[in-house]
């Protein structure tokens, strides 16, 4: 059965002009050269210290780039891109279309692309109107639960701005970084964390054994030490920012035991 969900928390930026790709290639964590009309790209825009600022899914439409981004932070990202643009021949504009999640079906209109972060999230569509009018409504809770179970962060809901290092956000597991593309903002520290150090903290999907976990709850070890915090939750599942030394547990939040998936 085809299911469709309008993602009101997402919005679209359009980049046009001959320097669009070269501008983004020097900024983002992934390799824009792998982008095509058949393949979308997930990437981050980081601080020079390698910490999360923005994330995006990039889609090609003709010669233009469409950025599938957080709606609330869209103006901030547009201003940031304008700052980096300098004299590049790039037009950065608002695109009024909407982002949709489409499971088990095809779109009748709009720009459709496989979610590059995980195959379980199926297809996304950028469209001005309902791209699959005959589809059933996908429950937001069902989408959230699937996203969380597979460790896919949802922008600044899960990633702390200017605090979390990119590799702590599950970026490598959800296809959000290239270690062969060359320079990008924050590249030096990101590469160093990959090749020279061991991650001590990271986003991890967990499942409760009884009561549903709540976003913002502190996670404690069996000895009462702080192990991390829940960033987002849906049903029995949560995405937690966790000290990996405590991953093998026992762990609990608000008195409820949590287990790694």
Q: Centre a 10 Å sphere on the Cβ of residue 215 and count the other Cβ atoms it contains.
A: 15
* Nearest alpha carbon to residue 37 among 64, 9, 16: 64
pLDDT less than 70: residues of the chain: none
Are the CB atoms for 36 and 44 separated by under 8 Å?
Answer: no
Give the pLDDT confidence of 139-153 residue by residue, as tens digits.
Answer: 999 999 999 999 999
Specify the pLDDT at position 249. Answer: 81
Looking up tokens 């910490």 gives 51
Helix (H) or strand (E) run with residue 23 in it: helix 20-25
The answer to pTM > 0.75 is yes
d(CA 45, CA 47): 7
pLDDT at res. 88: 94
Please report the pLDDT score of residue 210 as a whole number.
87
Q: What is the pLDDT of residue 93?
A: 98
- Provide the pLDDT for residue 198: 76
Res 138: pLDDT: 95
φ/ψ (deg, to 5) at 146: -65, -40
Take residue 89 and report the two structure tokens written for it: 């021949």
């Amino acid at each position: 059965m085809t299911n469709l969900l309008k993602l009101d928390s997402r919005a679209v930026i359009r980049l046009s002009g001959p320097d669009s790709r070269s501008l983004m290639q020097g900024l983002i964590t992934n390799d824009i050269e792998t982008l095509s009309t058949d393949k979308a790209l997930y990437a981050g825009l980081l601080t020079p210290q390698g910490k999360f600022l923005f994330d995006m899914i990039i889609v090609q439409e003709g010669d233009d780039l469409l950025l599938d981004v957080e709606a609330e932070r869209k103006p901030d990202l547009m201003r940031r891109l304008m700052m980096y643009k300098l004299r590049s021949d790039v037009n950065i504009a608002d695109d009024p279309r909407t982002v949709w999640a489409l499971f088990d079906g095809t779109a009748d209109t709009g720009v459709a692309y496989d979610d590059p972060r995980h195959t379980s999230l199926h297809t996304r569509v950028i469209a001005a109107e309902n791209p699959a009018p005959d589809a059933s409504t996908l429950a937001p809770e069902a989408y959230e639960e699937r996203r969380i179970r597979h460790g896919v962060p949802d922008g600044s809901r899960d990633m702390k701005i200017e605090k979390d290092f990119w590799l702590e956000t599950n970026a490598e597991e959800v296809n959000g970084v290239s270690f062969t593309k060359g320079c990008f903002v924050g590249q030096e520290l990101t590469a160093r964390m990959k090749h020279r150090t061991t991650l001590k903290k990271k986003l991890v999907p967990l499942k409760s054994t009884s009561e549903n976990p709540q976003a913002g709850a502190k996670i404690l070890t069996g000895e009462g030490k702080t192990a991390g915090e829940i960033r987002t939750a849906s049903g029995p599942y949560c995405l937690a920012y966790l000290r990996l030394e405590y991953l093998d547990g026992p762990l609990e939040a608000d008195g409820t035991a949590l287990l790694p998936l």
